[in-house]
Chain A
Amino acid sequence: MVTRTRSRLRWAWAVPTGLLAALVGVLFWLADMPPADPDGPPEAATRPTGQPLHVGLVPERDVFQQRKRYQALAGYLSARLTRPVELLTCSTYETVLKDFAERKIDVAFLGSLVSVLAMDRLGAKVLAKPEIPGGISTYRGVIFVREDVPVRTIEDLAGRTVAMLRTTTAGNLFPSCLFARNGLTDGPNPPRILWVGTHDDVLTAVMDGQADVGAIKDLRLDALLRSRPDWKVRRLFGSQAVPNNALLVRADLADRLGPRLTSILLKMDADPEGRRTLAELGATRFLPCSPADYKPVFDMIDCVGDRWGEIGVEGPPPRRPPDMPRSPSDRCYVENFSSSSAP
């Protein structure tokens, strides 16, 4: 009897002691648990290894958004090419040409004028161009004025202040071509040029009255006017359509990398992941692009002629490819232009 009682008492002590020890242990463990580190390194993802493919970009508008959009494409290409893809954002057209020449970039998404320069001076090959919603894969340069400004004809541009953007087809080459073609540049009252930094600044300068006339890329003008419905402009002249941000490959990689890259890009809209990437990029698909698509640029360069040096690009003007026919002189621009870049 006594032994049984002792045994029971021992258990009576053991149970709460055990429970207390367990409680203390659990609380101690909970207290010792490190909080999740939100800034901690992400789990190691399976990343392709090997020589990275360097993709050059030239900022066109919001550099931060642009980089994000192209990072999605870089991820997609990396998975398809089974090699890392790195973006290199170049500050100027000179930088991107230099990087091509120094083999620091392998491919690049470039505006039309820089594409022509890259093809002419470095032998780069154009592969594909993106198509954005609305079936738009090209853009035009636009000469525009504020709606209340009484400028309607070429002649009205004489002596007016024109907001322009250096080393761009829409903001520089096209208005220079227009002015040269119509004798304004060498006339008694040539237009005064106000150089600004971005397409957005062109519109701002016109709307603020710093400039009477603006030369801008139509796609950007459309986007800006959508965000500012109170701003009313009148489009006077438009250039021929040129490819919008086409992808070019370095000359020495054209045969090895070009076909594969073109194939991947052109088939992107055929698979779900590709469509997601295209949506992030702001495009619907990639279309083939050839040097012939840049014929309007060469036409404008021809039109500028000896005044090429005023464009702000060092060196001689790009040479038209032998197989590219010249256009009639009146084909470098469209009057009474009102629509955006239709395909």
Chain B
Amino acid sequence: MLRRKLLIIFGSLVVLLVAMAVTAIWVLQGMLRRLNHLNTEAVAIVDKADRLGSALTTVEIELYNLQLGHKRHLDALIDNVEMVRKLAAEVGRHYVTYEPGANAFYHSLMARFPQFERHVSSLAMAQDPKLVPRYNALALADVIALRKDVTRIDSHARQHARREQLDLAHRFRWLVLGMALGGILVINVAILVLMRGAAMVLRPVDKLVQTSRQLTHDHFDHRAELDQDDEFLELAEAYNTLADRLQKADQRRMEMLHQVALTLNHELNNAMATIEMQLQLLGREAGGSRKQETCLRQIREDLHRMAETVESLKHIRRIVLTDYVTGVKMLDLRRSVEGDPGEAEAGPRATQETNAP
């Protein structure tokens, strides 16, 4: 029963801690997802817009190279225009592009792009030396216009990323606070649960220890009283049974001692009465001898003491032993008559006291 209770308590505690850990991990995972989103989406669009701008710069350089006659092949230009198209499409797939601050510029970009491609195509195909610079200039003008749109998209994307960063930092701050409060709450609950668990063990143990002490002090009438139905109750019942047995044995011993005392009292009182009468006769016959009177008085006092001792035996309330000689015990009559010195008094057992006989 106790085991079950402890398992329930500690199991609940483990479940609580696991739940807290899982919740914390889940919440942190959410934060990581947001962080990942920030890196892969919000920041990625900035990166893509930057790359789009860089690709446009490269296209511009290629166009200038062709214009100046530094290059005569169009592959780099075509590849870079393809890259611009690819990056523009990637930017267009991003949710930030659909926000009001960027949507118009993206539409403008995409509306301009076919014209830009036509001009590049025309530039590539034009065999007329007079037409080539014209198409080149048109393509360059397109690039500049495209760059303006890209710059605005980039600016919006940066603002968006900044907003998301701030939002994430705000959420993270609240998350840390919430986790700290949750942690404190769980720690407090854990302490309460542990205290309850400890009380379930310590309270009956205290009572059992107390009972043990009472039994040690021969308070055989003391009983361990527990209100819980578990192994400690079984233990307490065992203690109480033992106390019952000890109490009964003690009672039997006391009864036997009283019977011995009565017997001694009866036999010795008769003898002492006879001795007393004999002493009175001797005293009258002494005739004023001081020496004899001293002896008779000494005998009378010893006789009186014996009478008191025998009388005391009748009034023994408990058995308190003391050392007689090494290894041999005898009854501490005075203390046995005095009875119980008090519950609070906890000292060595009387039988271990080394009083001189």
Chain A residues close to B by CB (< 8 Å): 5, 9, 12-13, 16, 19-20, 23-24, 27, 30-31, 35, 59-64, 67, 87-93, 95, 98-99, 165-168, 195-198, 201, 312
Contact = CB atoms under 8 A, between A and B. Distances in A.
Given A63-B78, A64-B117, A89-B73, 10 more contacts: A9-B10, A12-B7, A35-B36, A59-B125, A61-B125, A63-B125, A91-B66, A165-B127, A197-B127, A197-B128
Contact of A89 (B21, B78, B122): B78
Interface residues of B, number: 41
18 contacts: A9-B6, A12-B7, A13-B10, A23-B21, A23-B25, A27-B25, A31-B28, A35-B40, A59-B74, A62-B121, A63-B78, A89-B74, A98-B72, A165-B128, A166-B127, A166-B128, A197-B126, A197-B131
A91 B14 contact: no
Contacts of A95: 72-73
A90 B74 contact: yes
B58 to A, nearest CB: 16
A24 B32 CA distance: 14
A31 B29 contact: yes
A13 B120 contact: no
Contacts of A195: 128, 130-131
Contact of B127 (A31, A92, A99): A92
- Could you say which of B22, B75, B121 has the most chain A C-beta atoms within 10 Å of its C-beta? B121
Contacts of B242: none
Nearest to B126: A197
B127 A16 contact: no
Given A12-B10, A59-B125, A63-B124, A31 B32 contact: yes
Interface string B242-282: 00000000000000000000000000000000000000000
Which of B15, B22, B78, B130 counts the most chain A CB atoms within 10 A?
B78
A90 B72 contact: yes
Nearest to A60: B125
A189 B235 CA distance: 133
Contacts of A16: 14-15, 18
A19 B10 CA distance: 16
A91 B72 contact: yes
Contact of A12 (B11, B73, B135): B11
A165 B131 CA distance: 10
Nearest to A89: B74
Q: Which 9 A-B pairs have the closest CB atoms?
A: A197-B126, A59-B124, A89-B74, A167-B127, A166-B127, A166-B128, A63-B124, A95-B72, A197-B131
A91 B117 CA distance: 15
A312 B127 CA distance: 9
Nearest to B21: A20
Nearest to A98: B72
Interface string B55-73: 0000000000010000011
A312 B29 CA distance: 69
B3 interface: yes
A61 B29 contact: no
Contact of B126 (A30, A31, A61, A198): A198
Contact of B122 (A13, A198, A312): A198
B234 interface: no
Interface string B74-91: 110010011001000000
Q: Which of B25, B28, B74 has the most CB of A within 10 A?
A: B74
Interface string B286-315: 000000000000000000000000000000
B127 A88 contact: no
A93 B7 contact: no
A249 B73 CA distance: 19
B7 A201 contact: no
Contacts of B82: 64, 67
Nearest to A313: B127
Contacts of B36: 35
A57 B127 CA distance: 14
Contacts of B85: 64
A21 to B, nearest CB: 10
A19 to B, nearest CB: 8
A67 B78 contact: yes
A196 B134 CA distance: 11
Contacts of A31: 28-29, 32
Interface string B114-157: 00010011111111101110110000000000000000000000
A63 B121 contact: yes
B74 A63 contact: yes
